[in-house]
Amino acid sequence: MTQYKDLVEKRKLMLEAEKWARGLKTMHVHSLQSMWYDNRPQDTEGGQTVTDIEYNDGVVERKLSSGETVYFGKKLTGDDLLWAYTHQG
């Protein structure tokens, strides 16, 4: 049975990482056009504000004043997610 110990440990770590990935990393309410991920400067033209929520999995969710939601970034999965989880902070 010990031959499966590494596989079981990796799966346990992956389950922890998947739970962590859904957590909030940062939240910003702003009218800036200079966020590192922002390719939609029209969202904040004329002083309009947006709410940007960055999740641990690398995705940024932007809520516009119109109620629309847009997303930036690429969701981490697999080994990339494990790396981010084990190298956080």
For 3-28, the pLDDT digits (tens) are: 899 899 999 999 999 999 999 999 99
Query: What's the pLDDT band for 37 if we cut at 50, 70, 90?
Result: very high
Report yes or no: 43 and 64 within 8 Å, Cβ to Cβ. yes
3-state secondary structure of 50: strand
Q: What is the mean pLDDT of residues 81-85?
A: 96
Q: Give Cα separations from 56 to 31, 68, 82, 87 (angstroms).
A: 23, 22, 11, 12
CA separation for the pair 27, 60 (Å, rounded): 9
CA separation for the pair 80, 57 (Å, rounded): 9
pLDDT score for 2: 75
Average pLDDT, the chain: 94
Query: What's the pLDDT band for 89 if we cut at 50, 70, 90?
Result: low
Query: What's the pLDDT band for 45 if we cut at 50, 70, 90?
Result: very high
Helices and strands of the chain, counted as H and E runs? 2, 4
Residue 1 confidence (pLDDT) above 70: no
